[in-house]
Chain A
Amino acid sequence: MAEKGKKKSGGAGDKAEPAKQASVDGEKKASVETEAKTEAKDHGAAIAMPIEKHGEAAASAHHAAAHGHPVDRREYFIVFGVLFALTVLEVVLANPALGIARSLVGIGLVGMAIAKASLVGYFYMHLKHDTKVMKLTVAIPMATPAFYALVLVTEAAWRLTR
């Protein structure tokens, strides 16, 4: 950028002033950037974001692109709360003293277990931030044995009715 400005200033006399100005601006900017670079290197990635003047959104979008995702602790704790609540609910539902039909208990427990496993995969294993192909790469092999189990259970249930 600075070199281009210098070339122009050499070519046309009346354009020399603004071109020179641009070249100075370019140099100034470059030096600011070098400073920012050094500072960022010294203090780690966290401090580099506020330095960027062109909006934190752009910076954090870039951050997400480079490192997968920003950290959201609140989300982690919400997921923890749901996992805890579902575990308590499962233990209560499994209690035979409640007198709920075994088939309903079975469906409820399996549903809650799959929900819990999915929460761990989606939020804690960061599938939420992965690409669609990555999500499918995980989801399809995981779903296949579940589908096979469903076929086996249906077959067993059908045999019982005969």
Chain B
Amino acid sequence: MSSTAVEHAHHDGPTDWPDDPHYGKASAGKIGMWIFLLSDALTFAGLLLAYAILRGGSKTWPPDPALHEPAFGIPFTAALTFLLICSSVTMVLAHAAAVEGNRKKLVQYLSLTALGGALFLCGQAQEYFGIFNGGHGLIEEGLKFGGSARANTFFVTTTFHGAHVLTGTIYLTIMAIRSAMGKYDNGNHNSIEVLGLYWHFVDLVWILVFTFIYLL
């Protein structure tokens, strides 16, 4: 009975769920996001497996050396990887701020995370189209969609990931605005945790894409 005050304070806000014997305090939103992410993971797995099968079945890689396809810029994409990892850190810090009911820090960290996503998209545009150096990107250098199995798997997988980053950046921006409006004060951080799950997943997938498509 003596813990009533604490109990009440911590149950303030709509984050309290009945304690499920299997899933504990996981909210419906959290489990829903995980179901979506697992289906998404299998989609990415399908793309990466298709790439592995095409590459494994080819005598050389790139499949046609006569096409003189460009090599991928490893230092540049390693920097993009680092950028996504940094945005994952600002995301966990945003969640920590939400847990502590610190609206100012929550908005700051969510905005930084969204900025990281936007910069990643700029980086991808630079890689494809060379938007910052006069169109001198992979496409101009001869990596054409439809040109080879290497070009096809590269563009399909990285643009699908890029679409996730774009979605995440929009999602982050909306949540940053809602946070600034005070929608996630008072210990109501479940929605921020669900957002975090999505964003970290985008980072997790990029870690795998970077290794399999760029480094191997």
Residues of A whose CB lies within 8 Å of any CB of B are 29, 33, 36-37, 40-41, 44-46, 48-49, 51-54, 58-59, 62-63, 65-68, 71, 73, 76-77, 80, 83-84, 87, 90-91, 94, 105-106, 109-110, 112-113, 116-117, 120-121, 124-126, 130-131, 133-134, 137-138, 141-142, 145-146, 148-149, 152-153, 156
Contacts and interface: CB of A to CB of B under 8 A. Distances in A.
Contact of A76 (B92, B185, B201): B92
B163 interface: no
A22 to B, nearest CB: 14
Contacts of B45: 145-146, 148-149
B186 interface: yes
B210 to A, nearest CB: 8
Contact of B41 (A65, A109, A141, A149): A141
B3 A37 contact: no
A80 to B, nearest CB: 5
Nearest to B185: A44
Interface of B: 2-12, 15-16, 19, 22-26, 34, 38, 41-42, 45-46, 48-49, 52-53, 56, 74-75, 78, 81-82, 85-86, 88-89, 91-93, 95-96, 99-101, 185-187, 189, 193, 196-197, 200-201, 203-204, 207-208, 210-212, 215-216
Given A120-B88, A134-B24, A113 B211 contact: yes
Given A131-B22, A153-B52, 11 more contacts: A44-B100, A46-B101, A48-B9, A54-B3, A76-B93, A76-B96, A120-B88, A120-B204, A124-B88, A126-B193, A137-B38
A117 B33 CA distance: 18
Given A66-B10, A110-B211, A134-B24, A51 B93 contact: no
B34 A138 contact: yes
A156 B56 contact: yes
Task: Tell me the interface secondary structure of chain B in the complex.
Answer: helix
A109 B49 contact: no
A127 B215 CA distance: 28
A71 B98 CA distance: 10
B24 A130 contact: yes
Interface-centre pick from A62, A90, A112, A146 (highest chain B CB count, 10 A): A90
Given A67-B187, A73-B93, A145 B49 contact: yes
